[in-house]
């Protein structure tokens, strides 16, 4: 019986591929290519990025990144995932520490925006994956229903509709915004 061995990729391989125009994530050394998710997705990323950045930056609470930053979660084989938005507190990654390549620090907050091709189970599984790695708060934005699912370790998922308020809880105390602001165009 013949078997085919697939060479597992490393985080360094993924960085090299990105410089060659290949975009994706590594899950235990296996490349999963990603594609641009469209204008609505991008607008939501920017809306939330502006809202979060306007709160985080002036208070010097930490770092805010977009999906192209990547987060290195496992080694041998390597796992590098790309949340749509990630916040890493200054306590986890001190100001002034320069990070070349992928951050090896688990974010405090991850935001995932469901793409048109994503199924409900897929985005729910991804949110739970982030929690398993130690993320303290995950927001899954659902453009089709104008809702945001809030995931916290050990708690039931809470779904906020467009009349609800998104809260930073103990991850970003004092941050809140109306869910409808996430979808403003």
Q: What is the C-alpha end-to-end distance of the chain, expressed in Å?
A: 57
d(CA 82, CA 85): 8
User: What is the average pLDDT value for the chain, to the nearest integer?
Assistant: 93
- In order of 3, 8, 10, 25, 85, the CA distances from 78 in angstroms are 23, 8, 5, 10, 21
Q: In this structure, are residues 67 and 113 in contact, taking their beta carbons and an 8 Å threshold? A: no
How many other C-beta atoms lie within 10 A of the C-beta of residue 82? Answer: 20
Predicted confidence (pLDDT) per residue in 90-148, tens digit: 999 998 899 999 999 999 999 999 987 777 888 999 999 999 999 999 999 999 999 99
- Give residue limits of the domains in the chain: 37-182
DSSP state of 144: T
- For residue 76, is it left (φ>0), alpha (ψ between -120 and 50) or beta? left
Q: Is pTM, for the whole model, over 0.85?
A: yes
**For domain 37-182, is the CATH number 3.90.1570.10?**
yes
Predicted confidence (pLDDT) per residue in 24-44, tens digit: 999 999 999 888 888 999 999
Q: In this structure, are residues 114 and 99 in contact, taking their beta carbons and an 8 Å threshold? A: no
């Amino acid at each position: 019986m013949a078997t085919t061995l697939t060479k597992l990729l490393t985080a360094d391989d993924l960085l090299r591929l990105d410089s060659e125009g290949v975009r994706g994530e590594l899950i235990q050394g296996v490349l999963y290519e990603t594609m641009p998710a469209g204008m609505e997705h991008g607008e939501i990323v920017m809306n939330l990025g502006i809202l979060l950045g306007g709160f985080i930056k002036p208070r010097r609470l930490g770092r805010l990144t977009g999906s192209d930053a990547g987060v290195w979660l496992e080694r041998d084989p390597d796992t590098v995932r790309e949340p749509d938005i990630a916040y890493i507190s200054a306590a986890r990654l001190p100001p002034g520490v320069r990070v070349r390549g992928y951050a090896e620090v688990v974010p405090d907050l991850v935001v995932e925006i469901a793409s048109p091709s994503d199924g409900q189970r897929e985005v729910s599984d991804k949110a739970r994956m982030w929690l398993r790695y130690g993320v303290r708060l995950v927001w899954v934005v659902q453009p089709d229903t104008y809702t945001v699912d809030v995931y916290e370790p050990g708690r039931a998922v809470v779904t906020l509709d467009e009349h609800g308020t998104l809260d930073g809880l103990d991850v970003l105390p004092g941050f809140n915004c109306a869910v409808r602001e996430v979808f403003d165009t």
